Structures are given as C-alpha cells and as structure tokens.
A and B are shown apart, each in its own frame.
Chain A
Amino acid sequence: MSALLDLHDIARSYVTRKGLFGQRKLVRAVDGISLTVNPGETLGIVGESGSGKSTLGRMALGLETPDEGHVTFDGAPMPSHGTPAWRALRRQMQMVFQDPLGALDRRLPVIEQIIEPLIIHGIDGDHRRAGLTALSAVGLSADHGLRYPHELSGGQRQRVVIARALITDPRLLVCDEPVSALDVSIQAQVVNLLIDLQAARGLGMVFISHDLRVVRQIAARVAVMYLGRVVEEAAATDLFRAPQHPYTRALVSAAPSPGPRRIERVILTGEPPNPAARPTGCAFHPRCPVALPRCRTEAPALSRIAPGHAAACHLLSPAAKVAAR
C-alpha cells in the first residue's frame, strides 16, 4: 500500500529581525522531517508551541513550500501554492482550523459556506441537499444552516468547518489544533465526531495538537516534535505505554491519566524551547535529565529502536545499548 502523503526530509526557515537595525536571522521552524500518512490512518503530531507543528501541517497541504525536501501526495509531487493544479487538488485535501470563527465568513449563512467547495470545484448535483446532508453528518440541523457564524456556539462552528472540509469527500484532512479553542466537554464531542467521520470515510488524517489526551484518543500513530525535529515516532499505544525519549517521557508523565500512576513524574527545568536560539547538539539537552556530554555537541539522528518505533536520542541508539551492556 503506497502512502497517501509522504513528507521527505522537509525543512522550512523563516527570517526574523530583532529591532529596527537588528541582524537578519534564519529560524529553522521545521528541520528535516520525514513522515508518511497512509490512507485511512490518523497521524498525531504533538509538540509544544514553537515546535514547528503548524508549519509542518501547512507544508503537508502545500500552503507553504519547503525550502528543502519534498512533499508527495498520492505518489505525485505537490504542485506549488496558488497554481490551478494546486487549487484542483484541494478537493482531495482539506484543513480544519484552530479558530472556527476566524475560518468562516461572518457575512454568509453557514449553509452557503458549507456548499462553497462544491461551487468552487464545479461539482454538479443538488448543492442544497448535499449541504443539508453534510450538516446532519456533523450533527447539526437544517435550521443551524440558516444562521450566521456568530449565532452559533464554538463547537457548532467547528462542526460547520468540518462539514465544509468534508463535503468534497477529501482523502486527507489536516486538523491544526481543532479543539484547543473549545470547552473541554465540547472537545470530546468534536473529537468523537472526527473519529466517527474518519472511520466512516476512510480519511487519512494529520491531527496536530499539544494536548496528549486528545491525540491519544484519536491517533493511531504519533510523532513527537521538539524544536522542528521529530524526537520520537511510534504507534500511539506503544508511545503512551512506554515512552522512550526523555522528552516524551516528561510529556506523557505530565498528562493526567486515571488510575495509579505508572510512570514516575518527570519535571522539566530550564527554558522552554525557543526556535530562534537553538541549542547545539541535541536541541533538548539543556532540559534533559539524563544528558551526556556527547549530547551537547552531537545531534542524534532519528533511528529505529524497536519495530515501528523510532526515537532520536544517543541513549537509545543501538550503539549506546551495546556500550551499556
């Protein structure tokens, strides 16, 4: 089975400038990431703010072009942003945004916005009926369709955005923090809705979040990002049961879980990650409780530590295990 979406060693830098005459500085938001999403699979991307996960999502959709590496969708390279080929491809890949009110045009009743992709892509058929079907698929009534975005609650708005994203039957859905602006009780509803829709339609999904609880619920495979790099990637069950990378251990131990605590709580000290001042060597070493002198100088590569489980840490590489033995 070939991958639906393949990110091959992609990197993206931004130029920042401090002050009026400050020096131009390149910030590598995403630094050499390779990931694949198979049809019908949900890949969760976890990381703190500034870890580059949103940039990764934007590059996965072709909204931004990587400086290095390349993105292929369904075996074909991603056309560049704004070209007719790129626009036509939107039918296949859609996005759900963090702020549903910002993603909707506040001057149009929501049903018109839900059916807009059908008009944009020139899809024939009864648009009104398709819109009503889409509304009911996300659990809204026809009456909600006549309202304006500001007359709906946050959860209802996000449902509208999901209905709009799914109306062209896309094969890939990128959700960038889709529930972090919502109430906890509403979060569960929207996440369950996404899980149901994903299962029913066999969507490939990239689910970006900083909330481990949510990712654990929805994702089959999880990639943990730290300062633009993937530090650990594994099946969700493995990753949450037995996190290997010290950063993932800290993250997982910080997430509340029911029952007795199975992993000892790891509390990170030091500065939160700042992409403008990336530490040398392993980017995590200033906060790492088990850092070695080698971590300060040499960046570890992402390598396989178990079947279907990869991590980027000197302590976990096969060579280190041999040395410890």
Chain B
Amino acid sequence: MTDIANATPAPALRLPRMPWYVAFGMGWIIFVLAVALLADVITPYVFTAMDLKYRLVPPFQTWAHPLGTDELGRDVLSRLIVSIRISLLIAFGATVISAVLGTTLGFLAAHFRGIVEQAVLMLADFQAALPFLILALSVLAFFGNSLPLLIGLMGLYGWERYARIARGLAISASAQGYATAITQLGATPQRVYLRHILPNIASTLIVSMTLIFPEVILLESGLSFLGLGVQPPMTSLGNMVGYGREYITRAAWIMLCPATVIVLTTLAVSLVGDWLRDRLDPTLG
C-alpha cells in the first residue's frame, strides 16, 4: 500500500527515510557539488598565487591559511576547492559519456543481434583486454593534453561493462517477458527500449555507474600522478596528490587533504548508489 501513497503526489514535501550513512553520503555529495559550483566565489586566494613568506605552513596554524600552504606558499584550501571542481567535472563527464555509450551499444547489440552484436562484443573484449592506462598514455602523448580530450578519453573507460549489462538484460527481457508483450502491442523498438527496458534495468546501470565513478576519479589521479593528466598550473585532486608526494614526510597535509576528499567522495557515491538501487525498485520495501 505504500506504493500507492507514493504514486499520488504528496501534499507536503517529505524526505524519504534513509539510514545515517546514506544521509552522510548524500550530504557529502551535495557539499562537494556546492563547492565545485561555487569554487570561484569561495576560494580565499587565487589557487596559483604564491606567498613565499609562508611556505609549508601546517594546517590550523594561521587563519590566513586554514589548511596550510604548499612548497611554493600556495594556499592548500584554495587549491583543494579548484581541484574538486576539475576532478568532479572529469569524473561526472566521463561516467556519463561511458554510461551512454555503453548502454547504447549494448541495446544495439541486443536489438540487431548477428553481426552488430559480434562487433560490439569484440570491441568490448578488446577494451577489457587492453590496459586502459596504456591507451590513455598513447592518446595523450600523441594528441597533447586538454581538458575536453581528457574527459572524452576517460569516457571510454568502463563502457564495455555497461554494454555487457545492457545487452544481457535487454536480451533476457525480450526473450521471456514484458518486452515481447509490448512489441506485440505494436510499439516501436525505440519505445520498447527507452520507455520499458531502460527504466527496468536503470537500477543495475546506476549501480555500475557508482562503481565506475570512483575508478574514474582514481584513474584521473593516476594519470595526473604520472604527469599525463591535468597539467600544472591547472590542478586536480590526483595532480595535488602526485606533486605532494615529494613532501610526504615533511608536509603530509599537501597530499592528505586531496586524498581524504578522494576517499570520502568515492565512498559517498558508493553508499548512495547502493541505497538508490533499492529505492528505485518498487517491488522492494
């Protein structure tokens, strides 16, 4: 009976009940998104501004630099805020690109079968067998480095998983159930796939997105750490960790601040994704 209550528009906005860790995850994601959107307004300093009198100031020592400064006297808090913006832009952009690409290819494979399916599966196997870092290294080495290119490249990461999931679920839906029934009603394939199959498999795809999102953040960090990701003077979370490693014994905060943000963000996304999967299923709870 709760589903009927939810189906009719509630008179007052009521927040769905959620466990505390999901609330934390939601809160953290909203906070991080707000930071990313408001980065220009809330940074206390320009993130490249150097203040050589205050080099390697530890955190919580002075109000001027609450999270300390790095080896060039740049404010760690300002750099962290800008890094969050860049990293989230890359991670969200890449996750969305790979989800759309993979799901589309998976549906095409399930719909046309035959040679299209073979081609998609072969591409997926190729992608899975190829170390992505090597692909990324070669592309970035040949085509230079820019933010749109980096996002597009990362968008190729993980698409094969969506493609496999979408293909498998679409085939099983058409084989035995509602998809056949709706095709038999005379619906066009677009309608069957977008209005019926996609919502039915969305929960699985969202969970895969929350699994791939942290991997994209870590991949970006890895590339930046190797000096092939985001190039200085631009900064990102991975870039900060990469350049902060030289000072890990003397000024660990330069590296620990972005590392903490990476851990918390990936954890929050995973927690919320898991909860979302259950919420999106009307047959549960």
Residues of A with Cβ closer than 8 Å to B? Answer: 61, 63, 82, 87-91, 94-95, 97, 99, 102-107, 109, 116-117, 120-121, 146-148, 150-151, 161, 164
User: What CA separation (Å) do A70 and B257 show in the bound complex?
Assistant: 73
On whether the beta carbons of B3 and A87 are closer than 8 Å, the reply is no
Q: In the complex, what residue of chain B is closest to A117 when comparing beta carbons? A: B185
Q: Which of B245-285 contact A (CB under 8 A)?
A: 282-283
Q: In the complex, what residue of chain A is closest to B186 when comparing beta carbons? A: A90
Asked if B13 is at the interface (CB within 8 A of a chain A CB), the reply is no
On whether the beta carbons of B186 and A88 are closer than 8 Å, the reply is yes
Given A105-B200, A107-B200, A121-B186, A150 and B283 touching (CB < 8 A)? yes
Contacts of B283 in A (CB 8 A): 106, 148, 150
User: What CA separation (Å) do A315 and B248 show in the bound complex?
Assistant: 97
Contacts of A164 in B (CB 8 A): 185
Residues of B with Cβ closer than 8 Å to A? Answer: 3-4, 7-8, 176-178, 180-182, 184-189, 191, 196, 199-200, 282-283
What 8 additional pairs, Cβ within 8 angstroms, besides A102-B178, A105-B178?
Answer: A63-B184, A88-B186, A103-B178, A105-B182, A105-B200, A107-B200, A148-B283, A150-B283
Contacts of B3 in A (CB 8 A): 147-148, 151
- Can you name 20 A-B pairs with beta carbons within 8 Å? A61-B184, A87-B186, A89-B186, A90-B185, A91-B186, A95-B184, A97-B181, A102-B176, A103-B178, A104-B178, A105-B200, A106-B282, A107-B200, A107-B282, A116-B182, A116-B187, A117-B185, A120-B187, A120-B188, A148-B282
User: What CA separation (Å) do A88 and B187 show in the bound complex?
Assistant: 9
**Distance from A58 Cβ to chain B, minimum over Cβ atoms (Å):** 10
User: What CA separation (Å) do A91 and B176 show in the bound complex?
Assistant: 22
**Distance from B139 Cβ to chain A, minimum over Cβ atoms (Å):** 39
Contact of A102 among B177, B187, B188, B200 (CB under 8 A): B177
User: What CA separation (Å) do A120 and B186 show in the bound complex?
Assistant: 7
Contacts of B199 in A (CB 8 A): 107
**Distance from B183 Cβ to chain A, minimum over Cβ atoms (Å):** 8
On whether the beta carbons of A103 and B185 are closer than 8 Å, the reply is no
Contact of B184 among A94, A99, A106 (CB under 8 A): A94
Given A90-B186, A97-B181, A147-B4, A105 and B191 touching (CB < 8 A)? no
Q: In the complex, what residue of chain A is closest to B199 when comparing beta carbons? A: A107
User: What CA separation (Å) do A283 and B143 show in the bound complex?
Assistant: 70
A-B pairs with lowest CB-CB distance, top 6: A90-B186, A102-B177, A103-B181, A87-B186, A105-B178, A120-B187
User: What CA separation (Å) do A89 and B283 show in the bound complex?
Assistant: 34
Contact of A106 among B176, B189, B200 (CB under 8 A): B200
**Distance from B133 Cβ to chain A, minimum over Cβ atoms (Å):** 37
Contact of A146 among B7, B180, B187, B189 (CB under 8 A): B7
On whether the beta carbons of B196 and A105 are closer than 8 Å, the reply is yes
On whether the beta carbons of B181 and A104 are closer than 8 Å, the reply is yes
User: What CA separation (Å) do A95 and B180 show in the bound complex?
Assistant: 11
Q: In the complex, what residue of chain B is closest to A89 when comparing beta carbons? A: B186
User: What CA separation (Å) do A203 and B185 show in the bound complex?
Assistant: 17
Contacts of A104 in B (CB 8 A): 178, 181
Q: In the complex, what residue of chain B is closest to A88 when comparing beta carbons? A: B186
Contacts of A102 in B (CB 8 A): 176-178, 181
On whether the beta carbons of A103 and B4 are closer than 8 Å, the reply is no
Contacts of A148 in B (CB 8 A): 3, 282-283
User: What CA separation (Å) do A278 and B187 show in the bound complex?
Assistant: 38
B178, B196, B200 — most chain A CB neighbours (10 Å): B178
Contacts of B282 in A (CB 8 A): 106-107, 148, 150
User: What CA separation (Å) do A148 and B1 show in the bound complex?
Assistant: 10
Q: In the complex, what residue of chain A is closest to B1 when comparing beta carbons? A: A151
Q: In the complex, what residue of chain A is closest to B283 when comparing beta carbons? A: A150
User: What CA separation (Å) do A104 and B196 show in the bound complex?
Assistant: 10
User: What CA separation (Å) do A106 and B282 show in the bound complex?
Assistant: 8
**Distance from A96 Cβ to chain B, minimum over Cβ atoms (Å):** 10
Contacts of A117 in B (CB 8 A): 185-186
